[in-house]
Chains A and B, each alone.
Chain A
Amino acid sequence: MKWKHKDLLGINLLSKAEIEYLLERGDYFREFLNYSPKKMKYGEGYCLVNFFLEPSTRTRVSFETAGRLLGMEVVNFTTEISSFQKGESLEDTAKTLSRMKFDVLVVRHHQSGVAEYLAQLLPLHVVNAGDGMREHPTQALLDLLTLQRKFGYFPGLKIAIVGDVLHSRVARSLTLGLKKLGAEVFLSGPPTLLPPVMEHLGAKIIFPVEEAVKGVDVIYLLRIQKERQEAGYFPSIREYAHFFGLKEKWLNKKNGGPFIMHPGPLNRGVEIGYSLTEESFSLIEEQVTCGVAIRMAVLETLLQGEKQ
């Protein structure tokens, strides 16, 4: 496929065929990851900078690993020891990085729209690793890859996303991706964190959670942040865990479903119990491996243009 985008900013901007292409390449890299040694030469001579202005472990390490496995040089920008601390603006910092002639800039920022802004500002390839409450396209793609490898199809697949949908870029990107591929998406959680306008994403809001998860193939649990309780969206962690955390009774072990997914990091004992993740119906660990694979696919695809 001839790739026409300079950047990867959001699932919203991708066509169904483009998503399918990335999943196909992701699947290839996922197989590739099963065997060592696993160094490739495709990315040799290209440089990637991880420009993360919000805390992240798995996404940053995942991009770094993906870049290195492709043979790229990878530099991590950290805010603690940067001139960002000295008050340099986002624009100036990003321009400086660009002038160092990186080929790919992976950005995470707490404001929605920053990835798009940098993509317009800079000539290099920008990959959105999460912008505010808007999009987190590689998370959605890795989730889609996990689902495709498990189920092999999307039309008719039923997924319930449970939790803080309002503040979740993961929920936004994943819902958009699933809808483009023909899956059915149900959203549930505390009404304060799931206003009716979220149906604009194309998903159906269902209360209570017990109803939303009935008969689904996958329950996708969102991470709940302690700050949301402090900001008054729900009264207490124990109440959240009791009503919105995964329940044994939502699982139908006889029929082997539904499967459980979570973008991580887990709040053990809150949205998910202590024992449930390691069981056979959990796809959480597979999501992490698919994360490296899909980021390899994204980087490979963006570098295609460079090579031509």
Chain B
Amino acid sequence: MKKILIKKGTVVFPQRGVLQDADILVEDGLVARVGKGIEDTQACPVNASNLLVGPGFINLHVHLREPGRETEENLWTGSRAAARGGFTSVVSMPNTHPPIDNPLLVRYLLLRAKEIGLINIFPAGAITVGLEGKEMAEYGLLKEAGVIALSDDGRGVQDARLLYLAFQYAQYFNLPFILHEEDEGLSRGGEVSEGKVAALLGKRAIPRVAEESLMARDLVLAFRTGARVHFTHLSTALQVELLRWFQKKMPVSADVTPHHLLLTEEDVLQWGSEAKVKPPLRSLEDQKALKEGVKEGVISILASDHAPHPLEDKSLSFSEAPFGISNLEIAVPLYAKALIEEGIINWVELWEKLSYNPALFLGLNNKGILEEGKDADITIVDPGTRKKVKVSDFESRGKNCPFENWSLLGWPAYTIVGGRMVMAEGSIVEDEFC
């Protein structure tokens, strides 16, 4: 692998909260040098002037759909979409067919990921066998096979005793939880948020309490057991309040998707099934609270819940259409629009939530930081050029996306994974970079 020299960039150091002009030399998969005026004639040069250079983005909520749902996405298309989106690592959710609840499937995924070799894929294992919420999966064997976290994403764990035992048992193996909170008794049959739009359209609602009540229960379970938990895709103001309160007592984190920061229930009127997601898009007040949570640092991680479906699925009637938005390639500029353009946080803070904090949560000690000797997972972003979203250009098989034609700033320009250039100037590097 050839060396890469990134020249004249503005380097983001999220762990120290600073930006500095510096060059970076990448060699043998690692960051070899960070500093001013580095020269190396044997290295492939990258001109990063006017670009931001930082540790690679890590998306801890992505659906790659393999095995079993390859018409929606697979490891190859998902890896390409991630590389284009500036993500050097993703956590893949286990709600595949069959679900990732045994070590054999984990080994299969990791072998496929290695074959493709574009980005780092860290599988999450199921909390319960078959995601059925009845029995604990084999966390020890899953961890040995390579899972990085546990999640029943797509479903909440309904049985409190099961999760109570799971929270205790998983600590033996140092596995954190990524929790999708949904009380199925409360959400059953719901399609949109409770509120104005549900009332207007006569749709069955998913009440806020469906998420909030289960999250409150699980905060208490985590507090009593000492488990490390992370709540994914927050959608309500009260969830932010709950989190704020418990963060005074224990380490607990949460993320928010770009669509919950940019869209509200009213967008369902315009976009129909393109805006049908779980949890549902809520009110403007909820959105404001989520943004406030991001600003305060209560929401310390940004994760996009990339949920690809083929276009055919999304052209079904609203009730028949599946939940989810495909956004892996545009998550970064979407976050930039929601958070930076509105002055809620700056680029260093955004980087912290997209790289340093998720690495810390997942225990990836060599990622999330740009320093000599760390993994050369690097994302380079162009903060100043405006481009329009074209869903038909997505590498992802999922074309279910309400952001068509949105004009956005902050697109990833280069993605380097393990010292190898995998995306340059917006396109996948098919052969050698130089």
Interface residues of A (CB under 8 A from B): 190-192, 195, 207-208, 232-236, 238-239, 242-243
Say which one of B6-14, B26-34, B163-171 lies at the interface with A: B163-171
Q: Which residues of B contact A208 (CB under 8 A)?
A: 172
Q: Which single residue of chain B is at the shortest CB-CB distance from A236?
A: B138
Residue of A nearest to B144 (CB): A242
A271 to B114, CA, bound (A): 36
Q: Mark B122-148, 1 if CB is under 8 A from A, else 0.
A: 000000010000011111110000000
Closest-by-CB residue of B relative to A207 is B172
B289 on the interface (CB 8 Å rule)? no
- Chain B residues with CB under 8 A of A192: 165, 168-169
In the complex, are the beta carbons of A235 and B137 less than 8 A apart?
yes
Residues of B within 8 A of A (CB): 129, 135-141, 161-162, 165, 168-169, 171-172
CA distance A261 to B150 in the complex (A): 35
Tell me how far the C-beta of B151 lies from the nearest C-beta in chain A, rounded to whole angstroms. Answer: 16
Cβ contact within 8 Å between A191 and B168: yes
A30 to B155, CA, bound (A): 60
Determine if A239 and B140 form an interchain contact, defined as CB atoms under 8 angstroms apart: yes
Measured CA separation A208–B138 after assembly (Å): 16
Most buried by A among B139, B162, B168, B171: B168
> What are 30 A-B pairs with beta-carbon distances under 8 A?
A190-B169, A191-B169, A191-B171, A192-B165, A192-B168, A192-B169, A195-B168, A207-B172, A208-B172, A232-B136, A232-B162, A232-B165, A233-B165, A233-B169, A234-B136, A234-B169, A235-B129, A235-B135, A235-B138, A236-B138, A238-B138, A238-B141, A239-B138, A239-B139, A239-B140, A239-B141, A242-B140, A242-B141, A243-B140, A243-B172
A191-B168 Cα distance, complex, nearest whole Å: 6
Using CB atoms, name the residue of chain B closest to A230. B135
User: Cβ of B168 and Cβ of A235 under 8 Å apart?
Assistant: no
12 further A-B contacts with Cβ under 8 Å, apart from A233-B165, A234-B169, are: A190-B169, A191-B169, A191-B171, A192-B168, A208-B172, A232-B162, A235-B137, A235-B138, A235-B139, A235-B169, A238-B138, A239-B140
The chain A residue with its CB closest to the CB of B171 is A191
A242-B140, A242-B141, A243-B140 known; A232-B172 Cβ under 8 A? no
With both chains docked as a complex, state the minimum distance between the C-beta of B372 and any C-beta of chain A, in angstroms: 33
Once the chains bind, are B141 and A190 in contact (CB under 8 Å)? no
Q: Is the CB of B136 within 8 A of A235?
A: yes
Q: Report if A191-B140 is in contact (Cβ < 8 Å); known contacts: A233-B165, A235-B135.
A: no
**CA–CA, A239 to B143, complex, Å?**
11
Chain A hits for B135, CB < 8 A:
232, 235
Distance in angstroms from B245 CB to nearest chain A CB is 24
> Given the complex, which residues of B lie within 8 Å of A236, measured CB to CB?
138
Residue of A195, A232, A235, A239 with most partner-chain B CB within 10 A: A235
* Option from A191, A207, A232, A243 in Cβ contact (under 8 Å) with B161: A232
Give Cα distance in the complex from A208 to B143, angstroms. 14
* Chain B residues in 8 Å Cβ range of A242: 140-141
B168 to chain A, nearest CB (A): 5
Q: Which residue of B lies closest to A188 (CB)?
A: B172
Chain A residues closer than 8 Å to B136, beta-carbon distance: 232, 234-235
Q: How far is the CA of A211 from the CA of B162 in the complex (A)?
A: 27
Q: What's the nearest-Cβ distance from chain B to residue A50, in Å?
A: 36
Cα of A243 to Cα of B138 in the assembled complex, Å: 11
How many angstroms from the CA of A99 to the CA of B40 in the assembled complex? Answer: 99
Residues of A within 8 Å of B139, CB to CB, are 235, 239
Q: A241 CB to closest chain B CB, in angstroms?
A: 11
Q: Which residue of A lies closest to B136 (CB)?
A: A235
With both chains docked as a complex, state the minimum distance between the C-beta of B133 and any C-beta of chain A, in angstroms. 12
In the complex, chain B residues whose CB is within 8 Å of the CB of A207: 171-172
Known: A235-B138, A239-B138, A242-B141. A191 touches B162 (CB 8 A): no
Cα–Cα, bound, A192→B166 (Å)? 8
